[in-house]
Amino acid sequence: MNKLIEAWSVNAEVQWVILIILCILVCSSLAWNVWNFLKPGKLVKELLVRTRSWWIMCACFVATTLAHPVVTVIGLAFLSYALLREMYPLLKLDQRERNVALLCYAVIPVQYALAYLGMTTLFLAFIPVFMFVAIPFMLVVRGETKGIVRSISLMPYSLVAWVYGMSHLAMLFNLPELPGFTAGPQGLLLYFIFLVGINDVLQFAWGKIIGQRAVLPNVSPNKTWEGLVGGVLSVTLIAVALRFLTPLEAWEAAFTGFCVAVAGFMGDAIASGIKRDLGIKNSGNAIPGHGGYLDRLDGFSTAAAPFFHLIYFFGVTAAG
């Protein structure tokens, strides 16, 4: 029993954010249920389904974040695996590409092990340097050149986007200790997850409330300039308000929040382009009301690397 209590004895900063997340979910659930009772409709039913999924996702994210670092890293590695496992069947890989896909799956534990062990140089170089050469070579070594340009573009990109990017979150556990910074890697990870998640919600909400002009009408017509600007500005302010989870000054937190919000939007836009090219609306149905893993983790995968490097630059390099 004491061990269980110890496991959940996290610092006050992290406890506050967990309480904030809980309050948001409770208030949202109550609001949507009252709305549905007074005036049922398609939109409110969609919001109810989405909120129920957010309860599950937030519970998983918080539990994984507060667990032992090994468990957290394994959880992140599973998300990378889930992204590849979901997307590869949709891409209709040929036999040559399926063989290379096995290598891509094998890369996941290696990349995350390098992150967990703090082998920074190998971590940074393993996929974009070594695998960037090894994968194209494996594709051409069989002597089949038809469709090789597609394959060389597709397979390395899948690793960079959904393994290399996400694995930067595991590197948060290897940041050096900073004076006066008590939230630790758990706080940073929770900070990132909250910013990316709320960015998705706020861009959707602002777009529904005041959205008129589409940002990318041929790619994602539901994404509006009003939703984008409203979401980015809101997340920038939230990033400053929650900077007690980070070693950042106010302006550094604002810049980091801005970059995370923009990177999240870019990831969403890229995923929308991929899905439109494939002729599908959602990448899967793993998350009710949200689609598949790619539909919800597109922003995480593109924002993770910028977030880590900004934290490292402002918190470690510039400080010291």
**Which amino acid makes up residue 138?**
M
The pLDDT, as a whole number, for residue 288 is 62
Q: How many residues does the chain have?
A: 320
* 183 DSSP assignment: S
**Is residue 38 domain-resident?**
no
Long-range contacts, stretch 311-314, CB < 8 angstroms, 24+ apart = 311/172, 311/175, 311/188, 311/246, 311/247, 311/248, 311/256, 312/175, 314/247, 314/248, 314/249, 314/252, 314/256
- Distance set, CA 103 to CA 82, 95, 109, 121, 158 (Å): 15, 13, 11, 21, 12
Q: Which of 79, 87, 81 is nearest to 278 (CA)?
A: 87
Whether residue 57 is contained in a domain is answered as no
User: Across the chain, where does the E strand assignment appear?
Assistant: 214-216, 220-224
d(CA 232, CA 262) in angstroms, rounded, equals 7
What pLDDT does 4 receive? Answer: 36
Residue 286 is assigned to a structural domain of this protein: no
Q: How many other C-beta atoms can be found within 10 angstroms of the C-beta atom of residue 40?
A: 9
**pLDDT for residue 316:** 85
Half-sphere exposure of 171 (CA within 13 A, CB side): 23
Mean pLDDT per 10-residue segment, the chain (320 residues): 43 85 90 88 81 84 86 95 92 88 96 96 97 92 82 90 96 88 90 92 88 91 92 96 95 98 95 88 70 83 96 84
Residue 111 belongs to a domain: yes
Of the chain, the end-to-end C-alpha distance in Å amounts to: 41
Supply 10's token pair.
Answer: 């996290």
The pLDDT value given to residue 287: 66
Secondary structure of residue 177 in the 3-state scheme? coil
Task: Please state, in angstroms and rounded to a whole number, the distance separating the CA atoms of residues 70 and 64.
Answer: 10
Cα dihedral 167, 168, 174, 177 sign: negative
Number of domains in the chain: 1
Domain interval for residue 88:
81-160
Rounded CA gap, 200 and 187, in Å? 20
Residue 36 lies inside a defined structural domain of this protein: no
For residue 216, report the phi and psi dihedrals to the nearest 5 degrees.
-130, 80
Pair of tokens at residue 72: 């957290």
**Rounded Cα gap, residues 102 and 319, in angstroms:** 42
16 Cβ neighbours under 8 A, 6+ residues apart = 244
- Assess if residue 29 is contained within a domain: no
Asked whether residue 277 is domain-assigned, the answer is no
Give the CA radius of gyration of the chain: 20
Q: Is residue 284 part of a domain?
A: no
Burial-class residue 288 by CB neighbours within 10 Å (0-12, 13-18, 19+). exposed
